[in-house]
Amino acid sequence: MPIIFKKPNRYPVYLCRGRKMPVELFGGFFENAKKMLVVTDETVFKLYKNKFDGVFPDKELFYCVLPSGEAAKSFDAYRTVIESATNCGLHREDGFIAFGGGTITDVTGFAAATYMRGVKFASVPTTVLAAIDAAVGAKNGVNFIGVKNYVGTVYAPQFVYVERDFFKTLSKRDMISGYGEIIKCAFLGADITEDELKSKLPSLKLIEKCLRIKENIADGDVYESGKRKLLNLGHTFGHAIESLSGFSIPHGECVVKGINFALRISVALNGLSEEKFGRAMRILTAAGHDVTCSYPLGKLKEFLIYDKKGNGETIDFVAFDKDLTPIIMPITISKLIGALE
C-alpha cells in the first residue's frame, strides 16, 4: 500500500510511485456511485487517457476534457463540466475525479461543490504544484474579470491520490513552477535541503514534507481566519503578477517573484538584515527561478485591491520578521507600495 497521509481536513492523501491505480481504493470511496465523471485537460488526456480503464468496473465512466492551462479556470470551463455532468445524467450519489494540474483540481472542486448542491469528488494531481498545494487544503474556484480565484468555495475531496510518475512528463517550465511552491514551504519552515531544491524530480519524502507543513499551518483554520494566511506567502504580489501577465507566467514562478517582494518589504519595514536577505535569496534562486518582475508598482497596485487577504485597503500581508520568520502583517496597500519605492 502507498504511504497514507491523513489530513489536512481529515481526508487521506495517498503518496505513491509506479503503481497501477488501485481499483479497491477508488471504488471504495464511491461505493454508491453508478457514474463517474473524470475531469481533465487536453494535455493530460492525450498522455494518460487509459489510466482510468478498469478502475471503476461496476460504474459508467465519462470524460470531460477542458483546455490546458489557466483557460480551464474560467466560467466557460466550469459550465462545460456542469453540462457534461448533466448530459451524462450524473446524480447526487455519483462522483467527479479531478485528473490534472491545479487548474483542473480547482475547477473540478468548484463544480463538485455546486453541482446539485454538492457531489463527492477525488483529486489525482498530475503536476508537482497540484500535488503539494492546489489539490490539498480544500480550496477551489475559477478566475473572473481577469482576477485570480475570484469565485470559489471551500469543499474537501474524498481523498487525494498522488502518483509521482505523472510528473516525469511535465515540461521544464511546469516543473520549475512546482518547485516555486516547494520553495514557499521551505520559507514556511519545512526542513528542505538545497540538494532537494535542486533535484530534477521531487522525491515522495520531499512531497510529504511540503504536505506536512501545509497541514501544520492549515489545521483548524479551514476558512483562513488566522494562521492559514501564512500559506499566502508570495501570493499577494504573485497573484497580481499572474493576472497582469494574462496568466502567461506560471503560478509557481509568480509565487517566487512574490516572495522576493515580501523579502524586500521586510528589509524596509521589519529590520531584516542584508545578510539574512542574501541567505534567503540563495534559497529563492536554488531551483533556477527568475525572481525579477517587469511590471511597474503602479500596475501591481491596481490588482492588490482584489487580494482576498484584505478588506480593500488594508491587507494581511505575509512578510518576515528580522529573524526571517514568516509573519502576518496587516498593512495598507499604500504603505506596502511605499516600502518598495
Ligand X SMILES: NC(=O)c1ccc[n+]([C@@H]2O[C@H](COP(=O)([O-])OP(=O)(O)OC[C@H]3O[C@@H](n4cnc5c(N)ncnc54)[C@H](O)[C@@H]3O)[C@@H](O)[C@H]2O)c1
In the shown chain, the binding pattern of residues 85 to 104 toward ligand X, with x for contact by CB under 6 A and - for none, equals ---------------xxxxx
Which residues does residue 147 pair with via DSSP β-bridges, in sequence order? Answer: 144
Nearer to ligand X, 48 or 277 (CB): 48
Number of residues that bind ligand X (CB under 6 A): 32
Quick one: which of 41, 196, 208, 224 contacts ligand X (CB under 6 A)?
A: 41
CB atoms within 10 A of CB 53: 10
Instruction: Look at the block and give the residue holding cell 509573519.
Output: 327
Nearer CB in complex with ligand X: 35/235? 235
Q: CB of 100 within 8 A of CB of 126?
A: yes
Of 56-64, 83-91, 126-134, 323-331, the window that binds ligand X (rule: CB under 6 A) is 126-134
51 binds ligand X (CB under 6 A): no
Report H helices in the chain.
23-29, 42-48, 75-87, 102-114, 128-129, 172-187, 194-198, 204-218, 235-244, 251-270, 274-285, 297-304, 333-340
Pairwise CA distance, residues 218 & 64, whole Å: 31
Instruction: Quote the CA–CA distance of 188 and 320 in Å, as a whole number.
Output: 10
The answer to whether the CB of 132 falls within 8 A of the CB of 5 is no
CB of 166 to ligand X, least distance (A): 4
CA-to-CA distance for 10 and 157, rounded, in angstroms? 10
- In this complex, which beta carbon is closest to ligand X, that of residue 120 or of residue 228? 228
- Nearest to ligand X of 2, 338 (CB atom): 2
185 binds ligand X (CB under 6 A): no
Min dist. Cβ of residue 320 to ligand X (A): 21
- What x/- string results for residues 158 through 177 when contact with ligand X is judged by CB under 6 A? --------x--xx---x--x
Which residues face 320 on adjacent strands? 326
Q: Which is closer to ligand X, CB of 82 or CB of 201?
A: 201
The minimum distance between CB 243 and ligand X, in angstroms, equals: 10
Q: Is 59 in a helix, a strand, or coil?
A: coil
The answer to whether 68 contacts ligand X (rule: CB under 6 A) is: yes
Instruction: Kindly state the smallest distance separating residue 99's Cβ from ligand X, in Å.
Output: 9
Contact flag: residue 316 with ligand X (CB under 6 A): no
| Phi and psi, residue 318, nearest 5° | -95, 115
- CB count in 10 Å sphere of residue 158: 17
Task: Decide if residue 238 touches ligand X (CB under 6 A).
Answer: no
Q: Closer CB to ligand X, residue 104 or residue 263?
A: 104
| 309 in contact with ligand X (CB under 6 A) | no
Q: In sequence order, which residues have a C-beta less than 8 Å from that of residue 170 and are 6 or more positions away?
A: 127, 128, 178
Q: How far is the CB of 173 from ligand X (least distance, A)?
A: 8
The least distance separating ligand X from the CB of residue 328, rounded to whole angstroms, comes to 18
For the chain, state the CA radius of gyration. Answer: 20
Contact between 126 and ligand X (CB under 6 A)?
Answer: yes
Give the interface with ligand X as residue ranges (CB under 6 A): 41, 43-44, 47, 68-70, 73, 100-104, 106, 126-127, 129-130, 133-134, 137, 139-140, 148-149, 166, 169-170, 174, 177, 250-251
